Every structure is written in C-alpha cells, then in structure tokens.
Amino acid sequence: MIIAQRKPLEEIKEMVASYEKVLVLGCGTCVAVCFAGGEKEAKLLASELRMARQMEGKSTQIIDHTIQRQCEWEFIDPIKELVASVDAVVSTACGIGVQGMAERFEDKPIFPGVNTTFLGMPVQPGEFVERCQACGDCILDLTGGVCPVARCAKSLMNGPCGGSQNGKCEVNPETPCAWQLIYDRLAKLGQLERMMEIMPAKNWSTSRDGGLRKIIREDLKL
Amino acid sequence: MSETPFEPEITAFVCQYCGDMAADSAGWNRISYPANVKIVRLPCTGKVDVHHILNAFEHGADGVYVVACPEGNCHHINGNLSAKRRVTYAKSLLDEVGVGGNRLEMFHVTAAQGDEFARIAAEMTERIRALGPSPVRRAMGKSSG
C-alpha cells in the first residue's frame, strides 16, 4: 500500500492560515491503513486545527469528512457540494488523492496534509517498511521475492556490495542488506546458483527515468 | 471584589473493572476526592481513543487523565497498555497544538485502591490548578477562574 506520514501541524496551519472555512478530507484506503490520513486521523487533525486556531483567535470553522478513495472520480464527485461550501481543503490522502481533488475542483485550494512516503507494508503493528519502488519491470522472480531496487540502498542488480556487514546495510546498521536477504531466501529455495548469474543493467525507462507513466487498457474503456 | 479562585474542569476516563471500582471503593470507604473530576466510565481503557482525549480538551477540559488496571492485570489482557501508548501519543499532539501534554496523564489502580483513586484525583486537580485554565478554554472565554 501507499505509506504516508502526517505533516507537522505547524506546516498545515500555515497553509490554511488565510482561509476561514476549511475541510479536512480523509481518505479511507491506503492512508487509513497506515494511520496517516484515514477517518480517524482526519478527525484528529480537524480537532487539532480547531484548538490551535481557537487559541490564536481565528476562525474555528474546520470540518472533517472522509471518502473511500480520493484517487477515483466516482468517490470524489459525490462531495462536490461539500467542497463548494468551504474555502479550502486539507487532503490527508496521498499525493495521488491530493492531485485528484485539485484536478476535479480547479478553483478550490487543495493542500496536502500528509507526506506520501513510500510503497510498503506494516511488518508489525506500528512499523511500516518500504517494499516496492514501482520500477515498472519486476524482477522478483530472479531475486527470491526480495526486491533489490527498493530494499538495497544502491538498488544494486548484482550485490551485495562491500558495505554489507554482518547482514546489515552500511547506510543504516538496522537495515538488513537486501542482497543478504536475497542470498538467504535463494538458499531456502535451493536456488543459490542464481547468485552466480550476472544480471544485465536494468532498463530504467520503465521507471521514473522514462517520464510520466501511463497504462491504457482498451478492454476497460467505456 | 476578590477574584474567584480557578477551579479546573478535569475529565477522567476510567475502566469499569479497576478505575471505576476504585472510585466506588473511595465512596464506600467515605474517602472524598475533588469534585473537579468528571468520570467517563469505559468497558476498558483500551477503548480510549486519542480523539476522545482531544475532544475533551476541545470542549473545555483543563486536564484529562486515564485510570487503568495495573500493568499485567488488564481484564482485557492488554487494553491498559494500548491506552498507555495512546496517552503518550496524545501528549505529543497536545504539545504540538500548544495545549500542553502535561495536562494529560495515565494512572493505574486496582479496584480496591479507593485511597489511591482519591489521591490521583487530588494530584491531578492540584497539577491543573497550578497550570491554570487550558489555553483552549481561555480562548473560549469559558474559564471559571
């Protein structure tokens, strides 16, 4: 899922300082699961903003609402009237949701309430770790199901590097070396010979290097 | 004309098995505690949400505290530990807002500790009295001080 982190209150307060009536709009999918911008977090942020603005003698017209997804028109469109009734929106969705809202409501200031951080998973309650970099050309079949693109600090295709010490990465001694994980997993699968294969340089044009990415599925078009 | 001394409004979220029973114990042992404390009884302090705590402050509470079962003795296994973590998080949010995390506290008592329940109520009342009205309440112009 998309993992995000709430922005500091001070930053959000500053963004909406000149607006009277503000809607804090939560998103009920990824950012709800990572507890950054779901219904509960939108309520908390609205409450914090109201208190902070009350203390500054400013308008406390801060309302909150949550829709299932801010990255699909069918969930955004039903809140047209609600958005029209406020001066600005703080979206606690990921960057996709914020842009979805901004695209749909061209004349309304839409501000990000979270920092979209990475694609990952909760490995245990309260701990979220990056797992995928959406490179557009998955090689997990070759690396024992462990992604060197996202999990190796250097995104090495033929690791480990000399900075791998006792199974940990030199960038952060708490981070497991991705290539150590790959080695261990391939050993369990009985496929250690894969470590001897030289992986050619990856074609990064399917990743961010190729510019804006787009998928068209004619079969899904209306 | 002398000014009326500030009397804080304090909300206590208590679990029905320990905190609330302790309040009851205080009652039948004829131990009095400050009337500033308004008790909200919950099935378990694991039910305490950060939003409930912020809501209390937003609506004028000068102080809030949570009374849970002693660690290792939660009727619902670990609800009290969840509450403890949430109280810590809520304190950080209150600091961020400017209300002050020291207006919020977490306590543990057993059902029989009526005296401890009363001592906690007195301690929190004194603490909040010394801090003065919450900045939110002051801004609301609702301070009874």
Cβ contact A51–B51 (<8 Å) = no
- B99 vs A contacts (CB less than 8 Å): 51, 55
Q: What is the mean pLDDT of residues A99-104?
A: 98
Chain B interface, best mutation among A5, A44, A63, by max B CB count within 10 A: A44
Task: Give every residue of chain B whose pLDDT is below 50, as ranges.
Answer: 142-145
Give CA B107 to chain center in angstroms: 9
Nearest to B58 among A10, A50, A57 (CB): A50
Q: What is the C-alpha separation between A118 and A129, in angstroms, rounded?
A: 8
- pLDDT at position A6 over 70: yes
Single-letter amino acid code for the residue at A159: G
- Report d(CA B114, CA B28) in Å as an integer: 9
Residues of A in contact with B54 (CB under 8 A): 44, 47-48, 51
Amino acid at B97: V
> In chain A, what percentage of residues exceed pLDDT 70?
100
Write the residue in B50, B93, B135 that is nearest to A55 by C-beta. B135
Residues 6+ apart with CB under 8 A from A8: B96
- Please give the C-alpha separations between residue B78 and each of A28, A221, B49, in angstroms, as whole numbers: 27, 50, 15
Q: Which residues of A touch B93 (CB under 8 A)?
A: 9, 44, 48
What is the set of domains in chain A, with CATH numbers? 2-118 (3.40.50.2300), 134-209 (no CATH)
pTM: 0.93
Residues β-bridged to residue A176: A168
Mean pLDDT of A12-20: 97
Q: Length of chain A in residues, anyone?
A: 222
- Residue A200, pLDDT above cutoff 80: yes
| Residues in chain A closer than 8 A to B50 (CB atoms) | 44
pLDDT at B44: 97
pLDDT of residue B64: 98
Containing A121, the helix (H) or strand (E) segment is strand A114-124
- A167-177 pLDDT, tens digit each: 999 999 999 99
- Please tell me the predicted confidence (pLDDT) of residue B4: 75
ipTM (interface pTM): 0.90
Rounded to whole angstroms, the Cα distance separating A121 from B132 reads: 44
Contact B93, B35 (CB under 8 A): no
Percentage of the residues of chain A whose pLDDT score is greater than 90 = 97
